[in-house]
Amino acid sequence: MIDQKSLTTKLNHVILIEGFQKLSMSKLATAVGVSRASLYLYFKNKDEIVQAVVARHVKFIKEHPVPVHFATATFLPVWLDSLLLMGSTTETFTTELQRAYPELYQELSGAYRIYFHQLKAYVAQGQRAQFVRDNFPADFVIFQAESLVKSVLMQVREGQLRLDRAEVYLTATLDFQLTGLLVASVQEQLDMRQVAGFEATILREFRETYALISK
């Protein structure tokens, strides 16, 4: 039997693509492959589902904080976590959330805003430590990374990019971020096994969410 954590993850994938306002509890149950009765075992209503989805995002941010002080050992996991977060919401979801649940929207957007503000300071420290290239301001480094990730996902949602091709682009985006962001001497010391493992996590999240578009 599915547990609440796994069910919330599946519901998150559906809501990111479909939104939640037009989906009844019955339709949500069908979308995640459980009976309506099973869905009601964990969630009394749609309000609780939306709350759980928002809590999932906030929990990830709290469990993967940006360190106050830069360290070479922490940069790679922090940056890879940030790339995952850059593609973890959709305009469909956040727009509906803002209209229907303004307090939850404020909680979610506030958590993201604080996270990326801290990331900007962290990247700037990495630049001063001559670990991250300092060709551009830290806020632009984050902006261009977010733009690349969101551009790929947006084209998938609009039907302009096939899922298989999007996976190629996302993998290239991750590799491009590392080769274009870090100074040459640092790149030679990267543990690519860690990068490969995280790429697999990002691609799995992508498939489980965006495969819904083709159904």
- Tokens found for residue 133: 């290239």
pLDDT at 194: 67
SS3 at position 132: strand
Q: Do residues 202 and 84 lie in contact, with contact meaning Cβ atoms separated by under 8 Å? A: yes
Q: How far apart are CA 6 and CA 41, in angstroms?
A: 14
CA angle 82, 88, 91 (to 5 degrees): 125
Q: How would you write the pLDDT of the chain (215 residues) with one tens digit per residue?
A: 678 999 999 999 999 999 999 999 999 999 999 999 999 999 999 999 999 999 999 999 999 999 999 998 889 889 989 998 999 999 999 999 999 999 999 999 999 999 999 999 999 999 999 999 999 999 999 999 999 999 998 898 888 989 889 889 988 888 888 788 889 888 777 766 767 777 788 888 888 888 766 55
21-31 per-residue burial string, b: 16 or more CB within 10 A, e: under 16: eebeeeebbeb
The domain of 180 spans 4-214
Q: How far apart are CA 60 and CA 129, in angstroms?
A: 28
pLDDT at 180: 85
pLDDT at 110: 97
Looking at the structure of the chain, the number of domains it has is 1
pLDDT at 206: 83
pLDDT at 93: 95
Assign residue 71 a region (left: φ > 0; alpha: ψ between -120 and 50; beta: otherwise).
beta
pLDDT at 192: 65
* Domain CATH code at residue 34: 1.10.357.10
pLDDT at 61: 97
CA–chain centroid gap for 13, Å, is 11
Output the pTM of the full model.
0.89
Burial of 81 (C-beta count, 10 Å sphere; 0-12/13-18/19+): buried
End-to-end alpha-carbon separation of the chain, Å?
A: 24
SS3 at position 188: coil
